[in-house]
Amino acid sequence: MPRNILFITTDQMRFDALGCNGGQIARTPALDRLAREGINYTRAHNQNVGCMPARATMMTGQHVASHGVWMNGVSLPEDQETIAHHLQRNGYRTALLGKAHFEPWLGQPEEFFENRMAALGSTGPHRGFDHMELANHFFEGHSHYDIWMNEHAELKTRFYPMITDSGQNTASKGATGAVQVWPMDVPRELYHTEWVADRTINWLQDVQTDEPFFCWMSFPDPHHPWDVPKSELDRVDWRDVPLPELYREDASEREALLDQKPKHWRGYYEGSLWTNLESPRHYVPREMTADQLREINAMTHIENELIDEACQRVFDQLAAQGQLDNTDIIFTTDHGELQGDFGLLFKGPYHVDALMRLPFIWKPAGSETPSTVTAPVGHLDLASTFCAIADIEIPDYCQGQVLPRSDAEATAQTRDCVLTEWDSEHGPISMHLASIYEQSGWLCTSYGESALYDGTEGELYNMSEDPGQTVNLWAEQSAQGIRDDLVDLMQERLPTKRTPRLERRAPV
């Protein structure tokens, strides 16, 4: 019979969050085992480092330029074909449990179905999913989880207060006063990580063994706010958390690293230049202390442990139903987190490993020779891979390839690079970046003409020698040939941008 697909995503998880990828703090045995028994992709990149564009690529198999969701706040059109539609038409039951974010969650419910479906008592169908139950990081009044938590109204007030588009979201209840650290006196079983796993298990229990399923389990964590239940704080003592390798305790050394990069990096650090809505408007990275960073990262590690344990519960459910051996499991995230690298937090127009490089694991159903694939792959390849698992035709609109199961297979596919785009407009500040990571280890980012740049600036790193991206070779005479070749290759491979451009309809 056709194989099932369990697609698991987190939100804002770094590549090195997992033990299988070198993580030293969070204990992630379930996902480490998945990597050990399956295929671990160590150079997977997103095609955009923002939530909505990345998720649109996952579900369309298209570059951002093609599907048109060019920044957060730009909704994927409701009539856009998704790979869930295609699987649905080919006999698959489809579900999405957790965070969707195809539509702006700060948008008005009357304009966006995702923001009114819970209040309507609806669980779909929508965007190719027979069943949807949604959750988010905040209680915005929209999601199924939000409404479910109304049964615990007093406890609901203990969560981090709703974020707004004003950007004034720097509150803290942490020991160090770190931004958005918010330990809560709330039972673990009410936390959204547990809710997403519970809803997934409930849906799986209703699936008959003779009908294949495509189930997307989408966790809102480890995205900020860092609001773990207080009962879990003893998992990681923030005082023992080491500082990131790319964080310099000496301010002058931090600034020297930032000055290797184009000016919006230093502007963000100093709070003098706000280029995106991906961080609180009044947060100034320069003011963050080393202990505050330790506490934030401790909370992140705890959230990652809770995700791993939730995944194991779902794996156990599949095993109990006799479905595990016939289920392909794919795990990834939408984008990473700066998490103190270069003295910064959150995300935005910064094309570095902290944000672009993803945890990315495929455990095929049944027996499989485990492998590690170092060739470049990306979100672009997910839709085609879902079709290959289902043994159905890949739609013409998909621009990726089926994920290789080995580096030898990747070579046969001529996988030589992976591309990442960024476009944003916030008030008078626009940003346009495009990056290419090339198989030999070069990372090149070209800056398009904008309010800040004239179109000649960029970043170039030899990541074989400089994996931390600390020495920008863009302007070095000796590297200009490599730079120009990579820019040409990137322009050749990127599709023409969709026209007319989709409207930005809400903040995020």
Per the structure block, which two tokens stand in for 67? 């599907």
Residue 282 has a pLDDT of 87
Q: Indicate if the pLDDT at residue 135 is higher than 90.
A: yes
Helix axes 290-320, 192-205, angle to 10 degrees: 10
Look at 276 and 494; give whichever has higher pLDDT: 494
Per the structure block, which two tokens stand in for 349? 């127009």
- In degrees and rounded to multiples of 5, residue 270 shows phi and psi of -85, -10
Residue 415 has a pLDDT of 95
Report the alpha-carbon distance of residue 133 to residue 198 in Å, rounded: 11
Look at 171 and 361; give whichever has higher pLDDT: 361
Report the alpha-carbon distance of residue 47 to residue 50 in Å, rounded: 9
Q: Indicate if the pLDDT at residue 41 is higher than 70.
A: yes
Residue 192 has a pLDDT of 98
- The residues pairing with 45 across neighbouring beta strands, listed in sequence order, are 357, 378
Buried/exposed 302-337: b ≥16 CB within 10 Å, e otherwise: bbbbbbbbbbbebbebbeeeebbeebbbbbbbbbbb
Residue 275 has a pLDDT of 86
Q: Indicate if the pLDDT at residue 164 is higher than 70.
A: no
**Residue found by looking up tokens 């369990």 in the block:** 6
Average pLDDT over residues 23-34: 98
Look at 164 and 54; give whichever has higher pLDDT: 54
Give, for 215, the enclosing helix (H) or strand (E): strand 213-222
Q: Are 464 and 439 in contact (CB under 8 A)?
A: no
Model confidence at 297, pLDDT cuts 50, 70, 90, reads very high
Q: Is 393 exposed, middle or buried (0-12, 13-18, 19+ CB in 10 A)?
A: exposed
Residue 507 has a pLDDT of 84
Residue 172 has a pLDDT of 93
Average pLDDT over residues 107-126: 95
- Please give the share of the chain, as a percent, with pLDDT higher than 70: 99
Q: Indicate if the pLDDT at residue 169 is higher than 90.
A: no
Residue 277 has a pLDDT of 77
On average, the pLDDT of the chain sits at 96
- The residues pairing with 358 across neighbouring beta strands, listed in sequence order, are 44
Report the alpha-carbon distance of residue 72 to residue 508 in Å, rounded: 5
- In degrees and rounded to multiples of 5, residue 113 shows phi and psi of -60, -35
- Please give the share of the chain, as a percent, with pLDDT higher than 90: 91
Residue 82 has a pLDDT of 98
SS3 content of the chain, % helix, strand, coil (to 5): 35, 20, 50
Q: Are 264 and 301 in contact (CB under 8 A)?
A: no
Asked whether the whole model's pTM tops 0.85, one would answer yes
What is the domain class of 4-415 according to CATH? alpha beta
Report the alpha-carbon distance of residue 336 to residue 346 in Å, rounded: 9
Residue 168 has a pLDDT of 59
**Residue found by looking up tokens 């809770």 in the block:** 306
The per-residue pLDDT for range 228-240, each reduced to its tens digit, is 999 999 999 999 9
- In degrees and rounded to multiples of 5, residue 45 shows phi and psi of -125, 150
Average pLDDT over residues 333-344: 98
Strands (E), 370-455: 371-373, 377-378, 417-426, 429-438, 442-447
Report residue 41 CA to chain centroid gap: 15
Residue 49 has a pLDDT of 98
Residue type present at position 271: G
Residue 251 has a pLDDT of 96
